[in-house]
Amino acid sequence: MVYDEENILLMTPGPVSFHHRVYQAMSKVEFHHRTPEHRKTFGECVSMMKKVMQTENDVFIFTGSGTSAMDAAIANCVSPKDKVLNLIGGKFGERWAEITETFGAKSIRLEVEWGKAIKPEMVSNAIDKEPDIKFVTMCHNETSTAVLNPAQEIAKITNERDKLLIVDGVTSVGGDYVYPDKWGIDILVTGSQKCLGCPPGLGMIMVGPKAWEEIGKREKIPSYYVKLPSYRKAFEKSLDTPYTPAIPLVYGLHESLTMILEEGYENRVKRHRLMAETVRSGMKALGLQLLAEKGYESNTMTALKYPDGVDDNAFRKGMQKHGILVAGAQAHLKGKIFRVAHMNIIAEREVLLVLAMTGLVLRECGFKCESGAGVSAAQEIFLKNLR
């Protein structure tokens, strides 16, 4: 067998394919984490992370996935009995509601059909009905549906109504435009294994002034490991973490953030948006339909509906046989869609390869299409934009 786990092309929405520079950085000999050498590296990570997150606010890095940062956001800010408006259009919007309920707060769920976007007027109406809502949570780029929700417009509403906005930016930070300070996001979380191009295991959280004010009112924060005042105290004292960090992952993150800043924020976002356009156009040329509502399509991943007669298991196994791993769906969408990520170091070579193999595998599954149509459509877009 030519393709196996050693040389498979990951086109999944995390973990993603990493650059060899990240692997090399992680293989360095470890310094003890309570040394000047490690503190220098860690401090630089935080400084670079602020640039990538486009913020002047505090940023902390946890050893844990992006969900650890989500957990921290609710545990530190939200008191029992607080009303939290959870905006839900997929699995990860839903996760905010589950975490909210775990910490004893009252979850008010604003739900839309998976594949649709949360519209600003929906948020306005929900707050008008329950004016004592204190927090609003949302997933900016919903990974389960490949929908990009209008975070900037929603933040305008939460600011006007003096509500705190907590945002999951796990598949948007480092790949699309996210401006927490400018937009008025109070807490923004992300994770290492998506657009940031590092292996899983690190969660990041940005904490704004209004969030700190709320945290300062808490008599007791129901967490030991992700208690934000502990992280702030340790970092302000010595560029440190309160508990042992995942040292090799910190080395990897340092290198991946260095590469992101080398490329430049604007260039990186433009590349992600170009790859998204070519994937969408190429898949449509093959006869596939997008799940995401028109005008709200993600720029870091794409979700495609299966044509009648194409089996999810057969298709994804076929893609893997040809060396490419794409993702299936979650919850009630299982078997109905597949997801292709185009984030981090994915560019024209990978996009054209995925479109070519998608055409081949669709035909192997019995779907009638012009198997090269996806590649041709993408090439036309590249020819206009890559000169």
* CA 154 to chain centroid: 18
In terms of Cα–Cα distance, which of 226, 179, 176 is closest to 203?
226
Confidence band for 6, pLDDT divided at 50, 70 and 90: confident
308 belongs to a structural domain: yes
Q: Is 217 a domain residue?
A: yes
Q: Is residue 161 domain-shared with residue 269, that is, in the same domain? A: no
Dihedral of CA atoms 191, 164, 109, 101 in degrees, nearest 10, equals 70
Q: Exposed/middle/buried for 101, CB within 10 Å: 0-12, 13-18, 19+?
A: middle
Rounded to two decimals, the pTM is: 0.97
Express each pLDDT in 52-79 by its tens digit: 999 999 999 999 999 999 999 999 999 9
Three-class secondary structure of residue 339 per DSSP: strand
Give the domain-ending residue among 261, 287, 311.
Answer: 261
CA 9/CA 343 separation, integer angstroms:
13
Same domain for 234 and 105: yes
Same domain flag for 337 and 323: yes
Structure tokens at 245: 């960090």
Q: Tell whether 40 is covered by a domain.
A: yes
Q: What is the mean pLDDT of residues 211-217?
A: 97
The whole domain housing 136 covers 20-261
Residues 277 and 169 in one domain: no
Alpha-carbon distance 201 to 264, whole Å? Answer: 25
- pLDDT at residue 1 greater than cutoff 80: no
Q: How confident is the model at residue 30 (pLDDT cuts 50, 70, 90)?
A: confident
The tens digit of pLDDT for each residue in 261-320 reads 999 999 999 999 999 999 999 999 999 999 999 999 999 999 999 999 999 999 999 999
Positive or negative torsion for Cα 290, 293, 294, 295: negative
* Contact indicator for 25, 254 with CB cutoff of 8 Å: yes
> How many domains, the chain?
2
State whether 58 and 72 are in the same domain: yes
Residue 272 shares a structural domain with residue 165: no
Q: What is the pLDDT of residue 96?
A: 98
- Whether 280 and 209 map to the same domain: the answer is no
Q: Cβ neighbours of residue 137 under 8 Å, at least 6 residues apart?
A: 73, 74, 84, 85, 86, 87, 93, 96, 97, 100, 165, 166, 167, 168
Contact assessment for residue 172 and residue 361, using Cβ atoms and an 8 Å cutoff: no
Instruction: State the amino acid at position 124 in one-letter form.
Output: S
Residue 387 has pLDDT above 80, yes or no: no
pLDDT value at residue 26: 96
The residue assigned the tokens 């994770």 is 191
Are 225 and 215 within 8 A, CB to CB? no
Work out the pLDDT band at 31, boundaries 50, 70, 90. confident
- Same domain, yes or no: 136 and 271: no
Final residue belonging to a domain, choices 229, 261, 293: 261
* Residues 37, 32: Cα–Cα separation, whole Å: 8
The predicted structure's pLDDT at residue 301: 98
In the listed set 261, 290, 319, which residue is the last one of a domain according to the structure?
Answer: 261
Residue 309 lies in a domain: yes
Instruction: Please give the Cα distance from 352 to 278 (Å, whole number).
Output: 9
Average confidence score pLDDT of the chain: 97
166: nearest Cα among 77, 230, 106, 91: 77
What pLDDT, on a 0 to 100 scale, did the predictor assign at position 5?
Answer: 86
**pLDDT tens across 337-359, in order?**
999 999 999 999 999 999 999 99
Q: Give pLDDT tens digits for 147-166.
A: 999 999 999 999 999 999 99
* 383/387 Cα distance (integer angstroms): 7
In a domain, 2, yes or no: no
- pLDDT at 54 (0 to 100): 98
The answer to whether residue 348 is domain-embedded is: yes
Distance of CA 81 to the CA centre of its chain: 29
* Helix residue ranges, H only, the chain: 20-26, 36-52, 66-77, 91-102, 120-129, 151-160, 180-183, 209-216, 228-238, 247-263, 265-285, 312-321, 348-364, 373-385
- The two beta strands, 187-191 and 324-325, are unpaired
Query: Rounded to whole angstroms, how far apart are CA atoms 103 and 83?
Result: 12
Residue 4 belongs to some domain of the structure:
no
Within this chain, do residues 218 and 247 fall inside the same structural domain, yes or no?
yes
Residue 386 clears pLDDT 90, i.e. is over it: no
Q: Are residues 211 and 278 in the same domain?
A: no
- Count of beta carbons in the 10 Å neighbourhood of residue 74: 25
For the chain, percent of residues with pLDDT exceeding 90: 97
The stretch 190-215 carries a mean pLDDT of 98
Nearest to 264, CA basis, from 346, 191, 174: 174
CATH number of the domain that 376 lies in? 3.90.1150.10
Give me 260's structure tokens. Answer: 């992101």
Say whether 241 sits in a helix, a strand or coil: coil
**Claim to verify: residue 189 and residue 327 sit in the same structural domain:** no
- Sequence-ordered list of residues with C-beta below 8 angstroms from that of 98, at least 6 positions apart, any chain: none
Residues 175 and 314 in one domain: no
Residue 249 lies in a domain: yes
